[in-house]
Amino acid sequence: MTTRILVRWASLVAVTFALLGLGGAFAQPAPKRGGELHSLMNPEPGHLAIGLSLQVPSQVIGSKIMQSLVKYDYDFKPIPVLAESWTISPDGKTYTFKLRRNVKWHDGKPFTAKDVVFTTTELLKTHPLSRRVFARVEKTTATDDHTVVFQLKEPYAAFMTAFDPSSIPIYPAHLYEGTEYQKNPWNEKPIGTGPFKFAEWKKGSHIKLVRNDDYWKPGLPYLDAIYFHSIPDAAGRAIALEQGKVHFTSWGNIEGYDVARLKALPSLEMTTKGYEMIGVMMWLEFNYRKPPFNDVRFRKALAHAIDRKFIQQNIYYGLGKIPTGPFASVTKYYDSKVDTGWDFNPAKARQLLDEMGLKPDKDGVRLKTTLMPIAATYGEQFVRIGEYLKQALKDVGIDAPIVAVDAPTWIKRMGDWEYDLAVNFIGQYGDPELGVARTYISSNIQKGIPFNNMAGYANPKVDELFANGAVEMDEAKRAAIYREMQKVMVDDAVFVWLLEFEYPHFINKKFKNVIVNAHGNKDDFEAVHMVP
């Protein structure tokens, strides 16, 4: 063939492929602006101020409005957001962040280093995650309007993994300085720097976010709006997704018994990716202040009384992993060689209880206590978890009637230590220093503050290992520290670790770029777009 014929033939093939929809990578259309994404919120949050609330719906919605200095890819490598670059001193004690210059708050005020200093030194002092991080900081300085320097007291290995948007969102100082942060009216209509702005909140119905036309990334976001609907009924949520009235679900919005059916629908795709940064673990928690919960034999007895495989297969329909210890498998330094060895063995449970002197009475009851599951508003599966645990404990002589409470009451009672046995679940945030330590170190036993060491567990060896792991900068040495820690905590049977969650994300195939990093549903959604 001549050159002219070859060119004409290649052009004809390209046109034919395009007409047939077979262009593949040769002709991917650029995303276009427009469209609305409809999602869910369950339960309806108290407010939207991430950083002041660890409620999942607050985090999912608020992360589209507010941003942190960085975010993270699936391997926890930082991606620039409000910070365009950063440097770390050779001694690992000084972190200098260069901030973006073209960023505005949604009310038009400029974003500056003052906002970063105020947020990290004042507003986040009571946050159960970030307050641990910034307790390590000796001094925070704005050297100019677009440079922030964190001078640490000593090296802190987790520092660059700490800027999850729900943990360290940056707040507008001009709206929060001098106020009572938890009661600030802007918590219900937050002002951020993100790709979407708060538009309206119709209680009991929906929350609407709209595109930020002054977003600092030109051309983004693509969507006109995002709606988060309140549908308390699980069947109603599944039907809304199936009928295309809702396009995206996450966490426990969809009950396990609906997963297989919805996964098979041609209009939907399902993924369990996007929860790497959170790494949620669920466990049976003991109040160590009340005997016999402070006896390791009792804790191991309950571990043998519970069939964790039954929970995974029959309550969560195969989703999730059975934990081998206190670390989720997605958390840094997780060691699969450390294993609890807790087989389902009621006979072993009864033997341990006998050894403790907890003999059954004429009715077969060894001990009377109470069980407080997670509030049912987080999903029907938590009702079934409570019912199963009650029966499993009864089978070995533990009479534990269920204390049913709503979500705010559950949070308050846990924080105030007003429980015997409880079901709890907490995210691990990628690094054990960030999400694991808060639950187990004795210095974090503080009444009235939820989501810290509410159980009252105290082991000097565990405290020492967490302290050493926090400052060790050598990866191999740090891994060895956390390996030993996992062994110690397994030997202690601190809790009965029930399940590492694998939540399904359901995404209507009309939408692309929904789950793109380790934040998953807590990403800013700036690149989410509709396809023809």
What is the structure's pLDDT at 24?
Answer: 44
Clarify whether residues 358 and 491 are in a common domain.
yes
Q: Could you say which of 157, 182, 207 is where a domain stops?
A: 182
Clarify whether residues 398 and 474 are in a common domain.
yes
Question: Where does 395-526 have alpha helices with state H?
Answer: 407-415, 432-435, 437-440, 460-471, 475-492
Section 466-478 average pLDDT: 96
Clarify whether residues 260 and 306 are in a common domain.
no
Checking if the pLDDT of 354 tops 60, the result is yes
Clarify whether residues 36 and 108 are in a common domain.
no
Q: Could you say which of 150, 182, 214 is where a domain stops?
A: 182
In this structure, is residue 24 part of a structural domain?
no
Which pair of tokens denotes residue 45? 């949050």
What is the structure's pLDDT at 74?
Answer: 94
Count of domains forming the chain? 3
185: cis peptide before it, omega within 30°?
Answer: no
What is the structure's pLDDT at 10?
Answer: 41
Rounded Cα distance between 163 and 82, Å, is: 11
Number of H helices, E strands in the chain: 16, 21
Mean pLDDT across the chain, nearest whole number?
93
Clarify whether residues 133 and 259 are in a common domain.
no
The fraction of the chain above a pLDDT of 70, given in percent, is 95
**pLDDT single digits (tens) 392-450:** 999 999 999 999 999 889 999 999 999 999 999 999 999 999 999 999 999 999 999 88
Distance between first and last Cα of the chain: 38
Closest CA to 58 of 152, 159, 266, 198: 198
Give just the sign of the alpha carbon dihedral 351, 352, 358, 360: negative
At 78, the pLDDT band (50, 70, 90 cuts) reads very high
**pLDDT single digits (tens) 129-140:** 788 899 999 999
How much helix, strand and coil, in percent to the nearest 5, is found in the chain? Answer: 35, 20, 50
What is the structure's pLDDT at 3?
Answer: 39
Give me the CATH number covering residue 220. Answer: 3.40.190.10
**pLDDT single digits (tens) 117-168:** 999 999 998 787 788 899 999 999 999 999 999 999 999 999 999 999 888 9
Identify the helix (H) or strand (E) that includes residue 498: strand 496-500
What is the structure's pLDDT at 27?
Answer: 53
What is the structure's pLDDT at 2?
Answer: 43
What is the structure's pLDDT at 28?
Answer: 63
Q: Could you say which of 182, 213, 236 is where a domain stops?
A: 182
Give me the CATH number covering residue 296. Answer: 3.10.105.10
At 343, the pLDDT band (50, 70, 90 cuts) reads very high
Checking if the pLDDT of 20 tops 60, the result is no
Q: Which residue segment(s) compose the domain that 402 sits in?
A: 281-500
